[in-house]
Chains A and B, each alone.
Chain A
Amino acid sequence: DGGITQSPKYLFRKEGQNVTLSCEQNLNHDAMYWYRQDPGQGLRLIYYSQIVNDFQKGDIAEGYSVSREKKESFPLTVTSAQKNPTAFYLCASSGTFNSNQPQHFGDGTRLSIL
């Protein structure tokens, strides 16, 4: 079955530590996205990538970094500069950035501070 796989499902970060969240898709989609979900705030866009080797900042990029070296993979690093990283992180993809098709979502990674 085609879909998006996020790992790990739960992640704990120590003070001053960088952590990386994995996102892999086998849908052959060009565009991929990272969202942060906090209770009562909906989804906020962290970074997006329209195509391999390209990515753009979203609304809340500070303290995060990404790479897009392969079409299938769009990992997100939460750096020590992100002072409030506790949240549910969702990865999504769509055929193209301007597509009228819906975004497909992974099942998320829940990040907490130790």
Chain B
Amino acid sequence: AQSVAQPEDQVNVAEGNPLTVKCTYSVSGNPYLFWYVQYPNRGLQFLLKYITGDNLVKGSYGFEAEFNKSQTSFHLKKPSALVSDSALYFCAVRDLGDMRFGAGTRLTVKP
């Protein structure tokens, strides 16, 4: 069975600095990997996905993620954080239809 881990409950960065939100996964086959963002009292919004191809995936709002097969990681990154990026971020892995979500990482960007 597949699983996904987000090792940090909380990430704090200063506005304008680069940010990284970490994700590692475990699957038996080739994974479909996703990042979502959640604002308070809202549903999850899709940011980006990796299916196949280039290891660096670009998504919405300037976010990108790097797929690393040898390290089984799919870290979310952004070169310059905004205060409005403060939210809860979820990594997810899909294998044979079944979708598994990480526990979430709360990102706080301070002015």
Contacts and interface: CB of A to CB of B under 8 A. Distances in A.
Interface of A: 4, 6, 9, 33, 35, 40-43, 45, 90, 92, 97-98, 100, 102-108, 110
Interface string B34-45: 101000011111
Given A97-B97, A102-B34, A110 B90 contact: no
Nearest to B6: A42
Contact of B104 (A42, A45, A97, A104): A42
Interface in B13-56: 32, 34, 36, 41-46, 49, 51
Contacts, number: 49
B101 A108 contact: no
Contact of A100 (B32, B36, B102): B32
Contact of B90 (A6, A43, A104): A43
> Which range contains the number of B residues in contact with the other chain?
20 to 34
A113 B90 CA distance: 27
Contacts of A42: 90, 101-104
A22 B9 CA distance: 31
A106 B101 contact: no
A107 B90 contact: no
24 contacts: A4-B43, A6-B43, A33-B99, A40-B9, A40-B103, A40-B104, A41-B103, A42-B90, A42-B102, A43-B90, A90-B44, A92-B44, A98-B97, A100-B32, A100-B94, A102-B49, A103-B44, A103-B46, A103-B99, A105-B45, A106-B43, A107-B41, A108-B42, A110-B41
A50 B75 CA distance: 30
Given A40-B9, A100-B51, A107 B43 contact: yes
A63 to B, nearest CB: 21
Contacts of B83: none
B81 to A, nearest CB: 23
Q: Kindly name the residue among B34, B36, B45, B94 whose own CB sees the greatest number of chain A CB atoms within 10 A.
A: B94
A58 to B, nearest CB: 9
Nearest to A90: B43
A43 B101 contact: yes
